[in-house]
Amino acid sequence: MSFSAQDTAAVLTQALPYIQRFSGATVVVKYGGSAMDSDHLAGFAADIVLMHSVGIRPVVVHGGGPQIGEMMERLGLETRFVDGLRVTDAETLDIARMVLVGRVNRDIVSAVNVHGPLAVGVSGEDAGLITARADNPELGYVGTVDTVNTAIIDRLLDERLIPVVSTIGADPTGQALNINADTVAGILAGALGAAKAVFLTDVEGLYADPRDPSSLISVATASSLEAMIATGDLAGGMIPKAGAAIHAVRHGVASAHMVNGTTPHVLLLELFTDSGVGTMVQPDSPEQEAGL
């Protein structure tokens, strides 16, 4: 498909009010799943740099489930999940720490820095960013976030840098813990006062019926997502994503978005066009919060 100069001008004109609206705002982007393969990483990095160039303050929070699973398979180890969360014994923790901090984080930072010295890799263990606890013996060394100290992120943003956060946290004794990246993104978005939290997934968004592609939910509220979890309409890996979106919008984030990260330039489509894509999660109305 070719575009004329007029088409290009029309797209830029449509983007202008959104650029003006979000200039100076923090946007937390959770990056993970199939979108993280080498075919999509360069495009994702370019989109993050474009956001930064027009005045948005992006913070990237990444997972690395497929990469961890791949490494475990190569080592002949079995992967088990409970409610969409990886069961993490001591050996799995070592692998997760190595893959997330030593490989995936470096790959993202390098891809962004092709465009200039902008990205800085940060682990949740750095400067007390994420303090967590392991409170589910069934999951092993999987952390539940206790506190988030955003000082290091705030400092990087003030220096016009792009933080890239890997989600290995630590308990008060220094024990490393693996933490779900969706959960961290939602909590960090609230703590930073982000304007948006965007979760890049492997599907278009949330579906009323996962077997029916036409049942995509364009707009949801925190309460409606809670109801879907309670009734079992959401399961597996969508539970932590929905929970993260709920936390974000209930802690001051104007909206959370679940979009297909394999769609080219999906971040720009979501931020800078009238149509939007995927599922947008909004806070409950005052009436809903009052139970009316």
DSSP string, 209-268: STT-GGGB-SEEEHHHHHHHHHTTSS-TTHHHHHHHHHHHHTTT-SEEEEEETTSTTHHH
Tokens of 162: 């792009």
pLDDT at 291 over 50: no
Q: Residue 17 falls within a domain, yes or no?
A: no
Instruction: Judge if pTM exceeds 0.95.
Output: no
**Banded pLDDT at 229 (limits 50, 70, 90):** confident
Pairing type for strands 130-133 and 81-82 reads unpaired
Q: How far apart are CA 128 and CA 170, in angstroms?
A: 8
- What number of other Cβ atoms are within 10 A of residue 275's Cβ? 7
Q: How far apart are CA 149 and CA 162, in angstroms?
A: 17
pLDDT at 235 over 90: no
What's residue 21's pLDDT? Answer: 92
Q: Which of 3-7, 87-91, 188-192 has the lowest mean pLDDT?
A: 3-7
> Bridge-partner residues for 156, per DSSP?
none
What's residue 12's pLDDT? Answer: 77
Q: Which ranges of the chain does DSSP label H, i.e. alpha helix? A: 5-22, 38-53, 65-74, 90-99, 105-113, 151-158, 181-192, 222-230, 238-249, 266-272, 286-289
Q: Which of 69-78, 122-131, 230-239 has the lowest mean pLDDT?
A: 230-239
Tokens of 151: 């000082």
Q: Residue 4 falls within a domain, yes or no?
A: no
Tell me how far CA of residue 253 lies from CA of 76, 188, 266, in angstroms. Answer: 42, 10, 20
- Read off the CATH number of the domain in which 107 is found: 3.40.1160.10
Q: Residue 56 falls within a domain, yes or no?
A: yes
Which range of residues forms the domain containing residue 220?
26-269+276-289
Strand order in the sheet with 130-133: 144-148, 130-133, 168-170, 176-178
- Percent of the chain at pLDDT > 90 equals 61
pLDDT tens digits, one per residue of 2-51: 556 776 677 778 888 989 999 999 999 999 876 777 778 999 999 999 99
Q: What average pLDDT does this structure show over 188-202?
A: 95
Q: How far apart are CA 177 and CA 90, in angstroms?
A: 10
Tokens of 94: 């070592």
The highest-confidence range among 8-22, 101-115, 207-221, by mean pLDDT, is 101-115
Q: Tokens 């919060």 label which residue?
A: 289
Q: Residue 8 falls within a domain, yes or no?
A: no
Average pLDDT of every residue of the chain:
89
Q: Residue 227 falls within a domain, yes or no?
A: yes
Q: How far apart are CA 196 and CA 176, in angstroms?
A: 29
What's residue 199's pLDDT? Answer: 94
Q: Residue 85 falls within a domain, yes or no?
A: yes
**Banded pLDDT at 290 (limits 50, 70, 90):** very low
pLDDT at 61 over 50: yes
**Total residues belonging to the chain:** 292
Name the 3-class secondary structure at 125: coil
What's residue 198's pLDDT? Answer: 96
> Which amino acid, one-letter code, is at 212?
D
Q: Residue 181 falls within a domain, yes or no?
A: yes
pLDDT at 122 over 70: yes
Q: How far apart are CA 165 and CA 126, in angstroms?
A: 10
Q: Tokens 């984080």 label which residue?
A: 105
pLDDT at 289 over 50: no
Count of the separate structural domains present in the chain: 1
pLDDT at 272 over 80: yes
Q: Residue 48 falls within a domain, yes or no?
A: yes
- Percent of the chain at pLDDT > 70 equals 93
